[in-house]
Every structure is written in C-alpha cells, then in structure tokens.
Structure 1
C-alpha cells in the first residue's frame, strides 16, 4: 500500500473562503469530522448537514462523521471549562482511543487524502492532532500528517 496523506483542520477563526480554500489547495478528498457535537458549533458553514453540502458543492469533497475519534462529553466539558489542563485531557483522550482500538477498527485506506476536522483553530491543543498522530504511529503503512 502507498503512503497515506492525512491532514487536519479547524474552522474557528476562519472565514468560509479560507477554510474551503485550504481544503482544495491540499487536494483533500474527504473531510472526517471528529467532533463530538457536529451541529452545535457557532460557525454556520461547519454544522454537519450544511458542511457536507458545502464540501460537495464547493470542492467535490466527501464528508463523514467518525465518532470513534471524538472525545467523550465529560472529557470535553472538563477541558473547556478549564477543570482539566491540556496535558491531562490529552492523556485521557489518548487512553480513550487506545481502549476503543481505533487503529484496528479504522482502515488506513479510508483516510488517504482525508482531513480530520474539529473546531479548534490551532492543532497543537486539539484532539484532531492527537488522533492523526496516534493513527500514524500505529498503522503499518506510512502516514504523512499535515495540519492545514
């Protein structure tokens, strides 16, 4: 199997033009939504039903939600409410996806030219980065991760 190209992207602090432009420029084929709540975000273009339409209409890009890579509600709420620091949240999230055995349940070929989507503007403090790196480190095929 050839190398897998996997990107990540956040939508907050981004205009729709910039968001969709980055996806097109990176030649993303599918956006994989790893959010827990896909319809409650403030950015209108990023609500799951609307996003699937916009991706298809603007860039011919597919969309799917992947709850196996989403955090649990109490984890996300504790982090957002500043009850839990980033390092503790990251450790809990990595333990969660390890327990879910995502590297066995998800196929690498389904993630080639895919882009993991979450709301955070920057990847350094977002579970999408952790998920991409976790999969990269556990799949038998080389995975090139790019944060858009």
Structure 2
C-alpha cells in the first residue's frame, strides 16, 4: 500500500469511544501520536500509558513519533525572516524546527508507516489550523501525499499547501508577506 493519503485529527475533549468511532469511520489503521507531551490532565483517556493499549484492544495501532512533536524552542540557527510569515511564535518555532534533520527523520518514519497502513497523525488541538499538524501537512503535500484533516465523524477537509509556503528543495520557508505601498 502506498501512502496515498495521510489523515490528521485532534483528540480534543472527545471520549475515547467517540475518537475511535471517528477514526474507524475513515478506515484508519494506525494512530500516529505527534504530541510532545503525550498525556492530558483534563482528558486522561489520551495518556500514553493507557491510550496505546486501549487502541490495540479495538484493533488500532499506535505509534509515537517524538520527532514530529510540537512545542519547539526558538531556533538559534534559522534567521527570523526565513519563517517570518508566522506571527504566532509557536508556529514560527515549529516552521524553523521543520528545517532540521530530526524533523526529516520523523517525517520519513511517518511516510514509511503510511506505506503499510492507513495512518492518522494525532495531536490534542481540535482544529488543524491551530495546531502544528498544519505544518506537517504542508511537508507531506510537498512530498506528493494527499492530506485530509478530520474534523468530526464524516466531516473532513482536504489539505492545501499554505499559500505563504515557498518550496526550497525538500523544505519549506514561510517568508513574511510584504505589501508594497507608497
């Protein structure tokens, strides 16, 4: 099976059963966890120590790919203007991090997994546009992979490359949008 599509989802405040119902509705086989902190005080059903086992009990695989996790620090090696499009510092930091070898290793691991099973990348944030999944999606699109953002049961959006993204070989830059004025 080639990685024709990779899905994304945020677990949000859904119950475990609701989450499973949604992902099974999209014929998902493996949940790829891209949370830097794979636990939640408010939604303990997603704590890594029990989540993977519960997924296995309902016939779903689980993989944790730490290299794709969010919450990255400000880069000391990437000039600020390279990803100046991102006003939100968290997204800016992640876009900088996505230029690293570590991110590339995580992306390759995800692509390898997706060749053998239908995968969904999962984080906590409900909507993709408020999550680092949006930048991961851009990198998958760059590799020719269709990305589908799951919003709810039977509701999903096909991802499109961020219009601010500039292809630089196998990476992306998000330069600040400039406006010409008098």
Instruction: Compute the TM-score of the two structures, normalised by the length of structure 1.
Output: 0.78
- Counterpart in 1 of 2:148? 146
By how many angstroms is 1:25 displaced? 0.9
Partner of 2:170: none
Tell which deviates more after alignment, 91-100 or 19-28: 91-100
Instruction: Name which one, 1 or 2, has greater alpha-carbon Rg.
Output: 2
The answer to whether the 8 Å contact 2:10/2:127 transfers is yes
Write out aligned runs for 1:13-32 (5 A). Answer: 13-32=13-32
User: 3-state DSSP class of the match of 1:45?
Assistant: helix
Q: 1:88 aligned to 2:89?
A: yes
Structure 1 or 2: more helix by fraction: 1
**Is 1:136 aligned to 2:135, yes or no?**
no
Q: How does 1:47-86 map to 2 (within 5 A)?
A: 47-58=47-58, 60-72=59-71, 74=73
Partner of 1:79: none
Structure 1 position 126, deviation (Å): 0.3
Task: State the structure with bigger RCO (CA 8 A, min sep 6), 1 or 2.
Answer: 1
Q: Deviations over 1:112-136 (max 9, x none)?
A: 4111111111111101222122222
Q: 1:6 to 1:86 in 2, by over 3 A?
A: farther
Choose which of 100, 110, 114 in structure 2 pairs with 1:111. Answer: 114
Q: Secondary structure at the match of 1:42?
A: coil
Q: How far does residue 73 in structure 1 lie from its aligned partner after superposition?
A: 5.6
Contact map agreement 1:7 1:116 (CA 8 A) in 2:
yes
CA contact (8 A) 2:35 2:122 kept: yes
2:128 corresponds in structure 1 to: 123
Structure 2's unaligned 5+ residue stretches are 75-85, 151-182
Match status 1:99 vs 2:104 = no
TM-score by length of 2: 0.65
CA RMSD of aligned residues (A): 2.3
Q: How many residues align?
A: 135
Q: C-alpha distance in 2, partners of 1:7/1:16? A: 18
